[in-house]
Structure 1
Amino acid sequence: MDIHFVREKVARGEVRVLHVPSVFKMQIFLLKACRVSCLMTFETVSAYDHFPLKLYGCVIDDIEKLLKGFLWSQSESSKGKAKVAWKSVCYPKDQGSLGLKSLKEWNETLLVKQIWRILTQKESLWGKWVNVVKLNGRSFWDIQPGSNDSCGWKFLIALREKVKPHVCVDRRNGREEILWLTNEGRKVHAFVLWLAVLNRLSTQDRMQVWYPHKMFSCALCGKTNDSVKHLFFQCDYSASVWNFLKSKLVFRGLPNHLPGIMQDMAQYPFSNNIWCIINRIVIAAGVYFIWNERNCRLFAQKEKDAAVLCGDIKEYVKLKLITFKVKKSVAVLKAAKMWDLQWQDMGFRIV
């Protein structure tokens, strides 16, 4: 791709494919002193209607040079005028930066989405073509690029190593299912646990203050109105779940109430020891899944047996564990055995 071609397109305002704001739009935004907003239009215009191409490093450097110049000096060149490194400018807003996207990382993200389409949208026209022409019955994870393959296909193959840590292939039940792993679930679990520790969940004992004449009952056991103390883990339903989870931990002497659990956990050093990590994941997941089950019963009239919920929590913990890189040790092998996993190549694998 010729960078002069890019500049000509920008100058003429023909930006639909490149998704770069036209000179006219730049001038309007400058008059309003909104430089960052202008750069954000580079990101917000949809790029999903086109098959993304791998941009070469020199092309990315030249395009980002234009963006840097616009941000710092309103000209093509910003050499010596940048007040902050471009890498720092591209950090997220919650880390104190402007939240602009790195063109290299965004380009790779769009390419990874094509891998996602190959693995999950096999009935689409694109998925059928790839599976028939490119894969021809072979696995995407094992295929090697041919000498006649296009550069785009070779780039997708090269991205597999970056994608693998975030994907779990479940071949149980005679079929292959792709599970994409993120950290979002763990953040939500930690947030719910934090609210529970502070006694700020909207439990029935707190609602009783607003509705003093209403009769409440625990959606899990029906014996009394629920509270943080009752739900975690005095209720018969939640107690059976907690007893199952404790059987999967090495610290089996933990009490059956949340304040005591957190107090005992505070005595252990916060470290990257495998059992410290598992304890944190299990406690947060247990609180979240029980709270979610309570809400499903109250507001969606759906319920799960305690054994089914235990199985869901176990599968969640296993999926989290297989994303970690761990060295072989007695503790790691014991954890793998207790959670029905297998240690292999610096990580856990589902048996």
Structure 2
Amino acid sequence: MAATTLRRLAGTQVAKSQVKGESRGVISCLRGLRLHQGLRKSSPLSFGRKTAAGNALLCSCDAGEPRGVMDSASFTMGIRGEVHGLRDGGSGAREQSHHWGASSRHPLRCYGVGRAGEGGNSPRRVVFLGTPEAAAVVLRDLMAAAEESKGGKDAFEVSAVVTRPSKRKTHGKVMEGSPVASVASELGLGEHAILSPQSAKDESFLEAMRDIGPDLCVTAAYGNLLPPNFLDIPTFGTVNIHPSELPCLRGPAPVQRAILRGDRRLCVSLAFTVFRMDAGKIIGQKWLSIGSNETSDVALSRLFSIGSEMLVESMPELLSGRAQETATEQDETRVTHAPKLSKEEGVLQPHVMTAKECHDVCCALNIWPGTSVNCNCVTPVKKGGKG
């Protein structure tokens, strides 16, 4: 009954979608519908008849109380496939609605349904978050892939870039933007599309993200913790390129920690982002062997390049929601951590460290903090004799 009503109201032919739950017929006809862009996660929907405005449909977030009118944006789903509801405030939203079995405790879930846009062919919106030079490589590859995708069924665009704020140059007053910000400008993104919040928790930043309405967010060495109310925004979630074999070496310094312990076979993972650090489901992993003298900056660049290739290859699955179903949970029994580095770790202690250990410290910490030698540990040589 509800599915028939939706088809009649939408007046559009809809494609099949993979659906879990009892309301397959209802969800299958949502692909062609367009909704208000102020979508709220996990809110059950109810639909009514056409309004006087024309093709608009009514939506309700709670049983018996229509809250908004579908208009220019598209139907979306949450990170786990929840059907999104609408914010308050749609004109003419007090008409009677027809409910189809969703509740606030058990929201309807659907899979494989996403932003339809104008005519169902508008490109998906992707927001990239990153800061250092290694992340800039990923942005270049992502934007090149977006350009190549134009006109195809898997078309997407990089709608915005988020990076850390500009830093003051050493011993100067000139503010210097991040490598990612520089590449974004070079590739034609306007200043309005390059965001540099002090914190991802800033409400003004979160509101800007809601206005963008991304289908997917991609992070690569962004360097800022993403709160739950950010992770709720993108339709198909947020994915991260992490340079380690997750669940091993979760944290901010995985490559440096790996080299410090003598590893020469490294890994990069593509994984979904959850509020726990680097604990999301794994989409894919690839390995890289490095030379005995390879430094962390070179290894990072190579790993992010490989991760970028893996990301681009996965975009069709990520932007259709299929990746959520095929990604694998991490084995919590194998978890290790890669905590932040300290300046003290860069001090070589020749009297207690082997030559190889000193060598590995120099390779691992060449980006920051660098290395120095503790000269107090060297036994002085007496004149005219042995020390």
| TM-score above 0.5 | no
Instruction: Say which structure is richer in helix.
Output: 1
Name the TM-score, length of structure 1 as normaliser: 0.28
TM-score (norm 2): 0.26
Which structure shows the bigger proportion of residues in strand conformation? 2
Ranked by relative contact order (alpha carbons within 8 Å, sequence separation 6 or more), the top structure is 2
